[in-house]
Amino acid sequence: MEDLVEGLELPMRILITGPMGYVGPVLTRHLRHRFPQAELIGFDSAFFAHNLTGTKRLPEALLNRMYFGDIRNFPAELLDGVDVVVHLAAISNDPMGKEFESVTEDINEKASIALAQKAEERGVGRFVFASSCSIYGAASGGPRRESDPLNPLTAYARSKVAMENALRSSNADKMTVTCLRFATACGMSDRLRLDLVLNDFVAGALATGEISVLSDGTPWRPLIDVSDMARAIEWAIGRSADQGSRFLVVNAGSNAGNYQVRDLAEVVAAELPGTKVNINREAPPDLRSYQVDFSLFAELAPAHLPAVPLAQSVRNLRGGLSQIGFSDRNFRASSLMRLKTLNDHIAEGRLSRDLRWQ
């Protein structure tokens, strides 16, 4: 445990947007452990607040303060005295981005840019943005580096590119900005999601004894355990402008974490003996395929590199799912899919189509 971060005074004040999602509970616990004296503040619209998996304690109880609200109407005064903003809040995957395209642009792009501007104006020293390797899109010809051309194929990926570009071109000369281009997340969380490739495979194997690969299995995906995402964010919180540059984009993951989807299925099957792997050889090609070069992250953050092997992520998921008695064969239509949760809120009149509480 430590509390000292170079360049920041104690008690350090960190505002996390979107802590009530999949990554947030793992991040909150990690930061609470690493920075026991820090003041941790959450801000979330609570779309998924009730989707707890296997915990009896609200993960946000580890925060010092929690605000409920929409970043489209973010009250700038919450930023007063804040040292670091960790910006997770987003419409956070391709299926939701497709269904709620203009909302995705409003939240992930417009409101996110406005949040960063307010942060700079209010004297926030560091801004950490959760970007995504999915912005490499369809990328043949070897692992992609940060300076390589981007090829976003979805509304979600385009929104992440737009936010990165806005942060790069803003004349924020006081705020240190880190855009972490995360690999695809996997692993256990107090708000587990099954709309992620590895989590889906483990759930399928446990509930049905089968993994049903929706593609022909050839696309490349880099993976990172959610707890390693938290460690990367810890590094970015502590990063000063002389480590890298004041504005920095960095791929967050590890070179060993690049897998073809069929290999992911094989790793899960090896951990859960007896699992059958069904590859859909008739599937139309999944264009989203990218290998990513994580050398820059390895160079800049040697003490915060991913530490959880893929097989361990699988075992953690197996343990977590067993603990909640998971056996839902129809889990791809369950509330563990984020899009389903949003659509249920809308169908039952709680959310409007533009994702505002009614």
Residues that bind ligand NAD (CB under 6 A): 18, 20-24, 44-48, 70-72, 88-90, 92, 107, 130, 132, 182, 184-185, 196, 338
* Min dist. Cβ of residue 88 to ligand NAD (A): 4
Q: How many CB atoms lie within 10 A of CB 168?
A: 13
The alpha carbon dihedral of 207, 209, 213, 214 has a sign of: negative
Identity of the residue, 329 or 356, whose beta carbon is nearer to ligand NAD in the bound complex: 356
* Cβ neighbours of residue 241 closer than 8 Å, sequence gap 6 or more: 176
* Cβ neighbours of residue 208 closer than 8 Å, sequence gap 6 or more: 329
* Min dist. Cβ of residue 46 to ligand NAD (A): 6
Residue with tokens 């699988």: 314
* Min dist. Cβ of residue 47 to ligand NAD (A): 4
* Min dist. Cβ of residue 339 to ligand NAD (A): 10
Measured CA to CA, the distance from residue 279 to residue 233 in angstroms comes to 35
**What would the two tokens of residue 125 be?**
């020293």
Identity of the residue, 20 or 38, whose beta carbon is nearer to ligand NAD in the bound complex: 20
The helix/strand/coil state of 223 is: strand
Identity of the residue, 172 or 196, whose beta carbon is nearer to ligand NAD in the bound complex: 196
* Min dist. Cβ of residue 338 to ligand NAD (A): 5
Which residue in 220, 243, 355 sits closest to 304, CA to CA? 243
Residue with tokens 């709309």: 195
Measured CA to CA, the distance from residue 39 to residue 41 in angstroms comes to 6
Identity of the residue, 20 or 264, whose beta carbon is nearer to ligand NAD in the bound complex: 20
Identity of the residue, 45 or 53, whose beta carbon is nearer to ligand NAD in the bound complex: 45
Identity of the residue, 197 or 269, whose beta carbon is nearer to ligand NAD in the bound complex: 197
* Min dist. Cβ of residue 9 to ligand NAD (A): 28
Q: Which residue is nearest to ligand NAD (CB)?
A: 21
Identity of the residue, 240 or 260, whose beta carbon is nearer to ligand NAD in the bound complex: 260
* Min dist. Cβ of residue 37 to ligand NAD (A): 25
Instruction: Please give the helix or strand (H or E) that residue 197 lies within, else none.
Output: helix 197-208
Secondary structure string (H, E, C) spanning 121-181: HCCCCEEEEEEEHHHHCEEEEEEECCCCCCCCCCHHHHHHHHHHHHHHHCCCCCCEEEEEE
